[in-house]
Structure 1
Amino acid sequence: MKTKSFEVTVAEDRIAVITMDVPGETMNTLRSEFGDEVREILDYLGSLSDLAGVVFTSGKADSFIAGADINMLAACTTREDVYRLSRDGHKLFNELAGLKVPVVAAIHGPCLGGGLELALACDYRVISTSPKTVLGLPEVQLGILPGGGGTQRLPKLVGIAKSLDMMLTGKQLRPKQAVKLGVADEMVPATVLLEVAKKWVAKGKRRKIQPRLKGVEKLLEMTPVGRNVIYDQALKTVMKKTMGNYPAPAKIIDCVKAASGELDQGLKLEASHFADLVMSAESAALRSIFFATTEMKKETGAGDVKPARVHKAMVLGGGLMGGGIANVTAVKAKVPVRIKDISHQGISAALSSTWKQLDKKVKRRHISVAERDRTMSMMTGTTEYSGVKDVDIVVEAVFEDLKLKHQMVRDVEQYCGENTIFASNTSSLPIGQIAEAASRPDKVIGLHYFSPVEKMPLVEVIAHRGTSPETIATTVAFAKKQGKTPIVVQDCAGFYVNRILAPYMNEAANLVLEGEPIDKLDKALVKFGFPVGPVTLLDEVGIDVGAKISPILEAELGARFASPPAFAKLLADGRKGRKNGRGFYQFDAKKKGKKPVDESVYKVLGVNPDGRLSDSELSERCVVQMLNEAVRCLDEGIIASARDGDIGAIFGIGFPPFLGGPFRYIDSMGPARLVDLLRGYEARFGERFAPCERLLAMAEADQRFYG
């Protein structure tokens, strides 16, 4: 039999193979409208008196089921709609689990969210050994929990601690991990996946679910007291990590507690918590990020202009940034890359860094020795401009010196091809100024990465007035291949991310100089939702780097970007932060964990810390500066949309994701409220808090950025 998205075939072995293949989509996703189709299939299976078993598989080349369609949640207007959606899913999965014959999921490709919940309703799971096969319940990343029975069936299968680890982190399991954990029963090459799945059916046994527990884990999970220890520890860990800003983790733990009881009662609790979370502001914000990044994957950054293909790349500079850029070019983009440095030592350091990362993956059995060696063979080095005539793009990652960058432009135009793109990784110098040395300025663009390059998801693509649309499109496509989320921004000192970060950091500096303790200030901003506090960030980035960027921003954008003059004393005292082990905090390589404040820094700054402000006042003063500057950037056309501004702030500097980004946060508080806050601080501290014209107009008209 056949429906729109499913086909059921029954061969002589009397095993029904259900193949899911959603028409017009590259990946299968679960949708509410499938309910009638699945009901039809279950009725058909029930009519087969001699049925031996069922195998559920996918008709897609490299995808099982990538999860539920998130648009289903957006279509729900009330909590009751969401609750009903979850319970309808429970009913269908329960019927699948209740079939009187063995049911096996044959999994190749992503099996995530609702896809894994469907597989958990089966008796057995056979998975392919392909690196494309991953299993997980990533719902927590959208501010929700698994709503198709995952919180109840996974603990019963693998135990409490393992299931909490999967659901609270949203981690995805590779095939070997999935089998080791007990989520999957066997892994085989994709070519024999269906054949082996049928062998599991042929055993004729329904599964008796019993987690494989050993040692301390078994001791804890088999007693009420032990289970409570696991729940309490899990809650403490997530609260410490999230500062209580995300409601989903606590509700996941609550659901898992219920998994030890009757299934239907646990499922009802899951549906109730699922409905509450879907209707929460936090989940709405996190889902907006998902939709935004999905949209951005389809965009070229230059309208209908198609990108040229990058066959080979070069990186100028083998330092920390250059080495990181070379790494993602070879490892993620799979593009051969040539590292040009003035010394063999720089090249060696860049190559060594990637080798260590890849070798660690080999030892963990994530990749093979052959894969490691193949990737390393794509990275080469040179101290001269040799073997670079055929490079399609050059990413320059040298010191922030305009004369040096001008020389780099001239060198690339001399030694590389006439169509080679010159992309500068500058963090502050306007690209138009760099392009002044170019005979082909249309090929010059900014490509601003964030450190550490291998981990930070954002890259800013900066077009100056003369950058061609094809250069923009090609650079955006190249960044995407490197695994980055690119936002196209216009040329301006500081671009977007550093420009909104600077007044936030300066305000933090002002608070320290007013006597607010360094650690108290950092804690306040972490509590607000940032991954690290502003003073810790300055130590990590480098106090000297901040000192170089600040005058450039002040010269281009005005006095509101002036950094407090007292901070020159830090450099005079030889304090650069982590890089030389002297900054605001004490750096001791032998000690792990939280670092104490270097109390001597207060004396250098001429400050006696006394800490009179509340956490909310500390965070508010810093954050309103960032929000105000973000609106200015949108008004000046530095960013194309509020969406790009939100993604840039979240992925670039860790603006709290649960708030949805600066513009969604302004919408939630209301522009008028932000104007009132800025006016209040302006009256006390001066013009640096003056609200921008766009914000004033929006407050007057009661407008929002997202309608």
Structure 2
Amino acid sequence: MMSTFTTTINDDNIAIISMDVVGEKMNTLRAEFGDEMTSVLDELEANSSLKGVVVISGKPDNFIAGADITMLDSCKSRDDVLAISTMGQRMFDRIENMKVPVVAAINGPCLGGGLELAMACHARVCTNDAKTVLGLPEVQLGLLPGSGGTQRLPALVGIAKALDMMLTGKQLRAKDAKKVGLVSDVVPPVILLDVALKLAAQPIRKTKPTLDKVNALLQATSAGRNVMFSQAEKSVLAKTKGHYPAPLKIIDCVRKGLNDSRQAGLAIEASHFADLVMTDESKALRQLFFATTEMKKETGSDAQPEKVNKAMILGGGLMGGGIANVTAIKANIPTRIKDISHEGISQALKYSFDLLDKKFKRRFITRSELQSKMNNITGTVDYRGVKDVDIVVEAVFEDLELKHQMVKDVETHCGEHTIFASNTSSLPIAMIAQHAARPENVIGLHYFSPVDKMPLVEVIAHEKTSAQTIATTVAFAKKQGKTPIVVKDGAGFYVNRILALYVNEAANVLLEGDSIESLDKALVEFGFPVGPVTLLDEVGIDVGSKISPILEAELGDRFKAPTAFNALLNDDRKGKKNRKGFYRYDKKARGKKLVDESVYKVLGVSPTKQTSSQEIAQRCVIQMLNEATRCLEEGIIENVRDGDIGAIFGIGFPPFLAGPFSYIDKLGVSTVVSLLEGYQTQHGERFAPSSLLIEMNENNKTFY
């Protein structure tokens, strides 16, 4: 059996330990490596002529990407997890307690357990390669660093920076890691080993974190530290609403280690780590991690994707500008924006420039990198320079005739192989393709706003879309940094369909007399990033009003939007875009979230009802759950995994609940059916349970 660790000792008596997990692209730490690592350390400690040690990766582009998460899923009990954490702590303590200098030579990702190992070394040097990042992202899996990370990171970078890194999971690039004192040097990859060897030949030096005056003063006393911990707790609870236990446990570990002792800190870290692995929240986040990892390998069809060398975006509005940005900047594909006016093109160019300029100002990129990336985007008011584009993404108004014209124009001016992808949010793709000469090239590619931030994209194939078109479009979306789900054609597709009923129900609650604040608060407390009324203002009340009739015509009365909402449009209330909606956008509201009280008069309601937050959330969410099961039943989504990912990445369904289908399993199908039937009696047929739910309830089935 091939070994993961290879040790060579050079002429200067410095050992080079190279880690290379056999048969894997990335190095990850696994419990079964424990014995191998122990024998390596035994051998080194027994070598009396040893002068130093360098730990390096045998992989060309990564150091250690973290611990192998599957190892945690195979743990049968809390004690099994505790044993893994304790073993990791002891192993890294042995490295830290070695009598000779141990240096980590880092190239590529150094994350989670990888950074914990590197921090146990006496010094760290890393490369200036763009792929080199350092971080402790465990919180994103509902966990904390369980091999000493909560104790070593504050000692190296100070409490404030350590908490910032661990509570957000943010990753530092090489120069930022040096700035905060996490690494001692940043060098080109070709001299990484040489520099690390020189460092390993020098005596062990104790380093102190570089802190500004305020942090130094606060950190110096237990009272000051407690102020920092209490502020961190307040901030965490404001963001998580108490739904995620890991951040508070991280703070507790750091507090224990600094106020009591390193040993006490390590003991509480192992204990909290074991507790967290067993929580529903961590299981949900790990399920999400595995699902997205699995999806990265899928192509959406049996065909092999064609390479996209050049793209065109039709429409320079907010969506068009966003799609051009992820295509030209993220995917690095030369992109041509076609708009009817130069103003539209300028607007789209400004979208990318502003985002790049922000990066430039924060010194993430140089001025020449900014210019070179902007050179990837060009504009045209006619169809010049587009004959060779491989894909066209259409982002024009939701008007079927206009979209038919776009298909015709593209088929006239572009190549026979050119894919026409529509960013429609509600119109069936078959309707858009109905007059196409090459319907096999027509597909839906539905992005979510803001495009540069939202990770999901829906790829919608109609009956005549070719397998080749699907595969190429899925690959194109992945290159843009998106998580694509392939959905069947139909009004609203998947995400907007489940969202529409959720928002409609919120509107019904509002018209029954509950306040806008209580509505939004109820859903934010439930776990959504923003409430449904805020969402309506953000997306645009006018956009919602255009989608509802399409869904109602195709799918029936349950999609009928409350008629009182027409009064909002008659009063020219479109939301944030025209600074007139449910909330105020004037000077008095700057920095505050103030409801525009005059909206109640427009709607003809008085906010006097006080429904409980729990019932408000339940009514809105149960509609979303019910519609998700209909989409599965009709084959709109291929499986429950896609349905869960689509809801989390597309509309911010709470990740700790792992998605609508996982949440139904958690509540129990029988509970969901009886809740729906109760609301059906109270509020009407829009709450009728789907036939799939009724059938599953009768046969005692679950989704997972």
TM band (smaller chain): over 0.9
Q: Does 1:653 align with 2:651?
A: yes
User: Aligned-residue CA RMSD in angstroms?
Assistant: 1.0
Match of 2:506 in 1: 508
Q: Residue type matched to 2:494 in 1?
A: Y
Match of 1:287 in 2: 286
The number of aligned residues is 703
Match of 1:429 in 2: 427
CA deviations over 1:4-61 (Å, ceiling 9, x no partner):
1111111101110111111111110111111111011101111211111000010111
Match of 2:367 in 1: 369
Match of 1:327 in 2: 325
Instruction: Name stretches of at least 5 consecutive residues in structure 1 with no aligned partner.
Output: none
Conserved 8 A contact 1:153-1:259:
no
Structure 2 SS opposite 1:451: coil
Q: Which moved more, 1:525-534 or 1:218-227?
A: 218-227
Q: Residue type matched to 2:333 in 1?
A: V
Q: Residue type matched to 1:30 in 2?
A: L
Distance in 2, matches of 1:196 and 1:672, equals 64
Q: Does 1:483 align with 2:493?
A: no
Match of 1:554 in 2: 552
Structure 2 SS opposite 1:519: helix
1:340-489 to structure 2, matched below 5 A, reads: 340-489=338-487
Distance in 2, matches of 1:438 and 1:700, equals 46
Structure 2 SS opposite 1:339: strand
Distance in 2, matches of 1:517 and 1:689, equals 22
Q: Which moved more, 1:554-563 or 1:189-198?
A: 189-198
Query: Which residue of 285, 308, 311 corresponds with 2:309?
Result: 311
- Following TM superposition, the consecutive aligned residue runs of length 4 or more in structure 1 with deviations greater than 6 angstroms are none
Conserved 8 A contact 1:152-1:258:
no
Shift of 1:672: 0.5
Match of 1:244 in 2: 242
Q: Residue type matched to 1:350 in 2?
A: A
Q: Does 1:528 align with 2:526?
A: yes
Query: Which residue of 694, 697, 700 corresponds with 1:696?
Result: 694
Q: Which moved more, 1:584-593 or 1:648-657?
A: 584-593
CA deviations over 1:653-686 (Å, ceiling 9, x no partner):
0000000000000011110000010000001001
Match of 1:201 in 2: 200
Structure 2 SS opposite 1:638: coil
Conserved 8 A contact 1:463-1:472:
yes
Conserved 8 A contact 2:2-2:22:
no
Distance in 1, matches of 2:290 and 2:207, equals 37
Q: Does 1:619 align with 2:617?
A: yes
Q: Does 1:118 align with 2:117?
A: yes
Match of 2:72 in 1: 73
Match of 1:269 in 2: 268
Distance in 1, matches of 2:269 and 2:312, equals 52
CA deviations over 1:253-298 (Å, ceiling 9, x no partner):
0001012132222111101000100000000000011000000000
Conserved 8 A contact 1:330-1:336:
yes
Q: Residue type matched to 1:698 in 2?
A: M
Structure 1 SS opposite 2:353: helix
Structure 1 SS opposite 2:333: coil
Match of 2:25 in 1: 26
Q: Which moved more, 1:433-442 or 1:369-378?
A: 369-378
Match of 2:91 in 1: 92
Shift of 1:490: 0.3
Conserved 8 A contact 1:108-1:127:
yes
Q: Which moved more, 1:451-460 or 1:259-268?
A: 259-268
1:487-636 to structure 2, matched below 5 A, reads: 487-588=485-586, 591-636=589-634
CA deviations over 1:404-437 (Å, ceiling 9, x no partner):
0000000000000000000000000000000012
Structure 2 SS opposite 1:704: coil
Distance in 2, matches of 1:199 and 1:24, equals 31
Shift of 1:200: 1.1
Conserved 8 A contact 1:338-1:381:
yes
CA deviations over 1:316-365 (Å, ceiling 9, x no partner):
01111001101000111111011001111111111122122212212222
Conserved 8 A contact 1:646-1:662:
yes
Structure 1 SS opposite 2:8: strand
Conserved 8 A contact 2:180-2:209:
no
Structure 2 SS opposite 1:91: helix
Conserved 8 A contact 1:125-1:183:
yes
Q: Which moved more, 1:310-319 or 1:580-589?
A: 580-589
Structure 2 SS opposite 1:422: strand
CA deviations over 1:547-574 (Å, ceiling 9, x no partner):
0000000000000000001110111111
Match of 1:672 in 2: 670
Q: Residue type matched to 2:384 in 1?
A: S
Q: Residue type matched to 1:286 in 2?
A: L
Shift of 1:701: 1.4
Structure 2 SS opposite 1:55: strand
Distance in 2, matches of 1:163 and 1:422, equals 47
Distance in 2, matches of 1:262 and 1:354, equals 49
Distance in 1, matches of 2:282 and 2:173, equals 27
Structure 1 SS opposite 2:577: helix
Shift of 1:207: 3.0
Distance in 2, matches of 1:388 and 1:589, equals 45
Conserved 8 A contact 1:503-1:626:
yes
Instruction: Name stretches of at least 5 consecutive residues in structure 2 with no aligned partner.
Output: none
Structure 1 SS opposite 2:492: coil
Distance in 1, matches of 2:131 and 2:7, equals 25
Distance in 1, matches of 2:221 and 2:263, equals 22
Structure 1 SS opposite 2:481: coil
Match of 1:178 in 2: 177
Distance in 2, matches of 1:93 and 1:492, equals 55
Q: TM-score, normalised by structure 1?
A: 0.98
CA deviations over 1:352-388 (Å, ceiling 9, x no partner):
2212221221222212223222211111111110111
Q: Residue type matched to 1:15 in 2?
A: I
Conserved 8 A contact 1:155-1:259:
no
Match of 1:54 in 2: 53
Q: Residue type matched to 1:588 in 2?
A: D
Shift of 1:506: 0.4
Match of 1:10 in 2: 9
Shift of 1:617: 0.4
Shift of 1:80: 0.5
Shift of 1:593: 3.0
Q: TM-score, normalised by structure 2?
A: 0.99
Distance in 1, matches of 2:74 and 2:264, equals 26
Structure 2 SS opposite 1:459: strand
Distance in 1, matches of 2:160 and 2:281, equals 26
CA deviations over 1:136-194 (Å, ceiling 9, x no partner):
00000000100111001111111111100000000000111101111111111111111
Query: Which residue of 635, 638, 651 corresponds with 2:636?
Result: 638
Distance in 2, matches of 1:592 and 1:145, equals 37
**Change in 2 beyond 3 A, CA 1:9/1:232:** same
Q: Which moved more, 1:444-453 or 1:360-369?
A: 360-369
Conserved 8 A contact 1:315-1:325:
yes
Distance in 2, matches of 1:157 and 1:585, equals 45
Structure 2 SS opposite 1:178: helix
Shift of 1:594: 3.0
Conserved 8 A contact 2:136-2:169:
yes
Conserved 8 A contact 2:257-2:263:
no
CA deviations over 1:203-254 (Å, ceiling 9, x no partner):
2x22324222221111111111111110010000010000000000110000
Structure 1 SS opposite 2:392: strand
Structure 2 SS opposite 1:184: coil
Distance in 2, matches of 1:182 and 1:681, equals 58
Conserved 8 A contact 2:459-2:487:
yes
